[in-house]
Amino acid sequence: MEEAAVKSYEQINERIAAGKAVVLTAEEVSDYVEKKGLENAVSEIDVVTTATFGPMCSSGCFLNFGHTTPKIRMTEAWIDDVSAYAGIAAVDLYLGATQIQRGDPANLYFPGEFRYGGGHVIERLVAGRELELLARSYATDDYPAREVRGKFSIRDLNQAVMVNPRNCYQNYNVAINCSEKTIYTYLGVLKPKMRNLAYCSAGQLSPLLNDPFYETIGIGTSIWLAGARGHVYAEGTQHGSLAERDANGVPMEGAGTLALTADMKKMRAEYVRGVSLKGYGVSLALGVGVPIPIINSQVLRRTTVRDREITAPVIDYSYDYPEKTGRIITRLSYEEMKSGKAMVEGNSVETCSVSSYAKAREIAEILKSEIVSGDFLLSKPTDSLPREKKVSPLKVTPDVRR
């Protein structure tokens, strides 16, 4: 798998800094390499940009509020009535994307609407809007205040750092509904009797589908996170690189994930969007761009992967997904799903996506222009992502169902 580098990270960065780097998006590179041939193209191309924009539930942020007079040691806190975790330090909170608002009836009147939650608070923070903080404390000698309530914006915070334990799933399930009634899932509303299906990946533009063996994307890789320069800080949670792969090594199911972080004060609100999923809950959609340095021809070859060569498993979210039966109805290519219709068990099924390919294209172009103009230098990973890791289930049986 390893191949001698034809270009080092340092050489690529020198070319970027000199304004001479040749950068293509993961969509453009496929035709370019087909036309020029791999060996010619590898000496020309310095960077391929990849991107994705979609709901990424495992996201959130650390916020530092600074101290009030008198001081408070927050033990419980809400931002716009959305609970934030206060068990960190006196005025540090962690706000998660999927936290629903206090008073939201959730699925009491099924299906719930989930209009506002953690993801929406994060969107408003990045947009510079005013939010309301309510924090409570049991009070101590050194932190005597019992309560603080007031308006603030991101400008008032010392730090607002997005820390997302799991983003950028390498590939993902395609959800379908084989039951007799409509179901409400994190992949959207699914009609009964397989009348539609939903996928969630940028396919040929998606970062880890362009670097299936994590040869360039690793811990320490510089990324574009919603307009800010961020980093991969660890393998993502549920990183399962020991997934089933096709002949080219492209995973045919979820597989690898990335843990990402960046400064929210430098983000652009259009790429940080609160998500309301009817009957399911709230989340956060994020734009991520990841540059792939073309250090050798194999790395380049893997970035030429096309939608027709990437498949995803179609799974019944009314039964097989919740019950973990492992049954896969069929596999579909992203090319077929992006056409609007796909064949499942002899039926033509309407398709839709939860991930935005249009936004992913935009992001890949933005990152490309930032690299071309010398504003975005690449970083060499300090550690590789694990290549042989399995995801284990929790061996406890729940005893209550909806």
Partner 1 sequence: MERRKLLLSFEKEAAEKAIVCELVRRFDLGINIFRAKITPEERGYMVLDVTGESDALRSGMAFLRSQNVEVDTSAKGVCWNESLCTHCTSCVNHCPTRALHVSDRGEMRMSFDSNECVECLACIKVCPFGACSSMF
CA distance 397 to 287: 36
Location of structure tokens 């979210």: 317
Sequence letter at residue 257: T
Binding span for partner 1 by CB under 8 A among 186-194, 249-257, 292-300, 394-402: 186-194
Locate the DSSP E strands across 73-217: 76-79, 82-89, 92-96, 131-136, 147-152, 159-167, 174-176, 183-185, 188-190, 196-199
Contact pick of 60, 188, 207, 254 for partner 1 (by CB under 8 A): 188
Site track for partner 1 across 107-146, x = CB under 8 A: --------x-------------------------------
For residues 266 and 338, which CB has a smaller minimum distance to partner 1 in the complex?
338
Q: Is 191 in the site for partner 1 (CB under 8 A)?
A: yes
In contact, 279 and 198? CB cutoff 8 Å: no
Q: For residue 70, is the peptide bond before it cis, meaning its omega torsion is within 30 degrees of 0?
A: yes
Q: How far is the CB of 314 from partner 1 (least distance, A)?
A: 15
Contact pick of 348, 358, 369, 382 for partner 1 (by CB under 8 A): 358
Location of structure tokens 């009817």: 278
For residues 164 and 241, which CB has a smaller minimum distance to partner 1 in the complex?
164
Binding span for partner 1 by CB under 8 A among 28-36, 62-70, 83-91, 332-340: 332-340
Q: Is 356 in the site for partner 1 (CB under 8 A)?
A: yes
Residue 133 tokens read as: 């903080």
Q: Is 306 in the site for partner 1 (CB under 8 A)?
A: no
For residues 280 and 321, which CB has a smaller minimum distance to partner 1 in the complex?
280
For residues 216 and 353, which CB has a smaller minimum distance to partner 1 in the complex?
353
Q: How far is the CB of 356 from partner 1 (least distance, A)?
A: 4
CA distance 374 to 5: 22
Between the alpha carbon of residue 277 and those of residues 54, 55, 136, the distances in Å are 13, 10, 30
Contact pick of 102, 129, 149, 195 for partner 1 (by CB under 8 A): 195
Site track for partner 1 across 252-271, x = CB under 8 A: --------------------
For residues 190 and 234, which CB has a smaller minimum distance to partner 1 in the complex?
190
Number of C-beta neighbours around residue 119 at 10 A = 32
CA distance 251 to 390: 13
Q: How far is the CB of 360 from partner 1 (least distance, A)?
A: 9
Q: Is 338 in the site for partner 1 (CB under 8 A)?
A: yes
Q: How far is the CB of 331 from partner 1 (least distance, A)?
A: 20
Q: How far is the CB of 211 from partner 1 (least distance, A)?
A: 22
Binding span for partner 1 by CB under 8 A among 78-86, 238-246, 316-324, 336-344: 336-344
For residues 82 and 86, which CB has a smaller minimum distance to partner 1 in the complex?
82
* Residue 144 CA neighbour count, 13 Å, CB half: 3
Q: What angle do CA 391, 393, 394 make, to 5 degrees?
A: 135
Contact pick of 213, 230, 351, 367 for partner 1 (by CB under 8 A): 351
Q: For residue 111, is the peptide bond before it cis, meaning its omega torsion is within 30 degrees of 0?
A: yes
Which of 38, 52, 44, 51 has its CA nearest to residue 299? 38
CA distance 96 to 163: 9
* Residue 119 CA neighbour count, 13 Å, CB half: 24
CA distance 24 to 364: 9
Positions that interact with partner 1 (CB under 8 A): 53-55, 115, 188-189, 191, 195-196, 198, 273-278, 283, 285, 338-340, 350-359, 361
